[in-house]
Homo-oligomer: A and B are copies of this chain.
Amino acid sequence: MSPLKSWFSIPRGSHFSIANIPFGIISTPTSKTPRVAIAIGDHALDLEVFAANNGFSALSTIQPHQAVFSQPSLNSFAALGRPMHSVVRKYIQSVFAQDTPYPEVLKTNSALQKKALLPLKEIQTHLPFRIGDYTDFFAGMNHAYTCGVMFRGPTNALQPNYKHLPVGYHGRASSIVVSGTPIRRPNGQILPNPTAEKKVPIFSPCKKLDIELELGAFVCKANPQGVPVPIGEAEESLFGVVLMNDWSARDIQAWEYVPLGPFNAKNFGTSISAWVVLADALEPFKTEGLENDTEILPYLQEKDTKSSYDIQLQVELKTQSGNSSTITKTNARNLLWSFPQMLTHHTITGCPLQPGDLLGSGTISGTSNSEMGSLLEQSENGKTAVKLSGGEERIFLEDGDEVTITGVCGSDEEALVGFGECVGRIEPALEF
């Protein structure tokens, strides 16, 4: 299948090809109210302006719902459901197609092009959803195994429950920020001498500030309290996917996490990319995840095991002195559990999900050092420095470090389905 061509100029290699059409929330210096847009090439199409100027004149099904494009989040659009997302995406693709059946909508409408097509450089992106609840899973089995070996040795590296259920914990929804937001190094309690008999913590800026390379999936469908979502219906509840960096304070975590799990170590900030790639756009890139050699309970068994995504992921670290190094290259298929499995497990007790809820995948790592999605793994918890370009090295993040995650599906430079980037820069801790 040769890729769809567009009359609109989309640079080769753009993450936002006509095959993609990701959704986000934007504002501009002259129009500061956040609203819905899609990204295409180097531009955003402002869907509020597009809708107000009869952009959807040839798509009657969306017309009663056009107010969703004036909302400051994607929650209302998402709540319209997967069939509507699909129809809207396909319509926008057809509007941009070389041989569009609706040239008058945009192709030959230079007035609307001027109003609605905004260079990405000139817009601001915002958090795409009002996030009601955020859950972070631990489905990156290579990460779980490597960390398990580090702390418990190879025999007990994975806990007995690991292959039976997608382990997860409730995260802090209010701490999620959009790509580009600076991340302040947290202060907290750390144990200066963890092996001492007497455990006496000190108050200190985090000394083991780390990244976690993850995917995030947004929920688009509510289930009532007490009513689980069957695995066969879970995909209908998933809107789309973003890149995620679950910044983690390893030293704070080590001291606080027994027995109720990570808390302050994870609640100071989690970054996500601004453009949400629809589940529909990812459909052609479905693939098998990591093999589970354990028989799982029926409520988690998927008909189609191609439920992970083939997304090439990359992490770049740029130091304050300007040296930039690719520290991680891996693939999103490195997950033991799929998002439908996570979602079904989440609701099996009757937990109610809402449109806008965010599910994190857990840290995605391959098996070799350069494929690992955290510095904890790469530096073996501080033992081995990670070499950077320009002769620099890191065991954990330093102030001024800027971390950029990118992710992209496909190899046809005219049909990439990419996520853009998820970037954050470390600011020094507050002084007390």
Contacts and interface: CB of A to CB of B under 8 A. Distances in A.
B258 A159 contact: yes
A174 B357 contact: yes
Interface in A100-152: 132-133, 135, 138
Given A203-B298, A349-B249, A132 B174 contact: yes
Contacts of A133: 133, 172-174
B267 A174 contact: no
A189 interface: yes
Contacts of A256: 161, 165, 167
Contacts of A177: 225
Contact of A351 (B172, B255, B345, B346): B172
Interface of A: 132-133, 135, 138, 159-161, 164-165, 167-175, 177, 184, 186-189, 199, 201-203, 206, 225-228, 249, 252, 255-265, 267-269, 297-299, 345-346, 348-354, 357, 427, 430, 432
Residue of A199, A258, A298, A348 with most partner-chain B CB within 10 A: A348
B269 A350 contact: yes
Given A184-B226, A188-B348, A201-B297, A263 B168 contact: yes
Given A167-B263, A186-B350, A226-B268, 14 more contacts: A133-B172, A133-B173, A164-B189, A167-B259, A168-B260, A168-B263, A175-B351, A177-B225, A186-B348, A187-B348, A189-B297, A225-B269, A226-B430, A264-B345
Given A164-B189, A227-B430, A297-B189, A159 B259 contact: yes
Contacts of A258: 159, 161
B255 A169 contact: no
* Majority-rule SS of A interface residues: loop
How many identical chains are in the complex? 2
A348 B206 CA distance: 11
A222 to B, nearest CB: 9
B186 A349 contact: yes
Contacts of A430: 226-228, 350
Contacts of A201: 161, 164-165, 297
Nearest to A269: B225
Given A170-B172, A357-B174, A187 B264 contact: no
B357 A184 contact: no
Contacts of A226: 184, 268-269, 427, 430
A259 B150 CA distance: 14
Contacts of A188: 348-349
Most buried by B among A164, A174, A199, A357: A174
A173 B134 CA distance: 10
B264 A261 contact: no
A173 B173 contact: yes
A16 B159 CA distance: 50
22 contacts: A138-B260, A161-B255, A161-B258, A165-B189, A167-B259, A169-B170, A170-B171, A170-B172, A170-B263, A170-B267, A172-B351, A174-B352, A184-B350, A186-B349, A187-B350, A188-B348, A202-B297, A206-B349, A252-B349, A264-B345, A264-B346, A267-B351
A38 to B, nearest CB: 28
Nearest to A206: B349
Contacts of A265: 349
B161 A199 contact: yes
Nearest to A354: B174
A15 B358 CA distance: 40
Nearest to A167: B260
A355 to B, nearest CB: 11
Contacts of A225: 174-175, 177, 184, 268-269
Contact of A261 (B203, B262, B268): B262
Name, among A164, A202, A261, the residue most crowded by chain B CB atoms within 10 Å (CB to CB). Answer: A261
A226 B430 CA distance: 8
A354 B345 CA distance: 29
